[in-house]
Amino acid sequence: MIHLLTNYYFLYFVSISGMLSHFLVKEIKGETLIEITGYFEDHFRSTLVAFIVTSIGYLAYISFLAEGTKGDVIAIFMLGYMFDSMLNKWSTKNV
């Protein structure tokens, strides 16, 4: 059995889940009024930039900081959340 904490595909999925959770938090707060497909169509560039930067951050993390512990999962999740939060900004006026 492959150990999930050292499985790079699992950790990449965790980083992308962090990005998606940021969108869901905005949706729960009522800050977005559009469906998920419409959101990605309307904010394609900022979503693409956030995805690319999250991927680069993930690669840097697993290359230099990963230790195979539970903390890696939390850190990589927060990495995806943080990059989406920083780079994928929009206001409700744009909706």
> What's the pLDDT score for residue 2?
53
pLDDT number for residue 52: 93
**Distance between CA atoms of 15 and 57, rounded to whole angstroms?**
9
Residue 95 CB neighbours (<10 A): 12
Which pLDDT value is given to residue 94? 47
Confidence at 24, pLDDT banded by 50, 70, 90: confident
Amino acid at 25: V
Report pLDDT digits (tens) over 64-84: 887 778 888 899 999 999 988
pTM for the predicted model, two decimal places: 0.76
More reliable by pLDDT, 93 or 32:
32
Domain locations in the chain as residue ranges: 4-88
User: What local confidence, expressed as pLDDT, does residue 17 receive?
Assistant: 92
Residue-wise pLDDT for 25-60, tens only, equals 777 776 665 666 677 777 788 888 889 999 999 999
Does residue 13 contact residue 55 with C-beta atoms inside 8 Å? no
Phi, psi (degrees; rounded to nearest 5) at 37: -70, -40
Can you say how many angstroms the Cα of residue 46 is from the centroid of all Cα atoms in its chain? 12
Q: Is the dihedral of CA 50, 57, 55, 28 positive or negative?
A: negative
Contact partners, residue 51, CB within 8 Å, separation at least 6: 16, 19
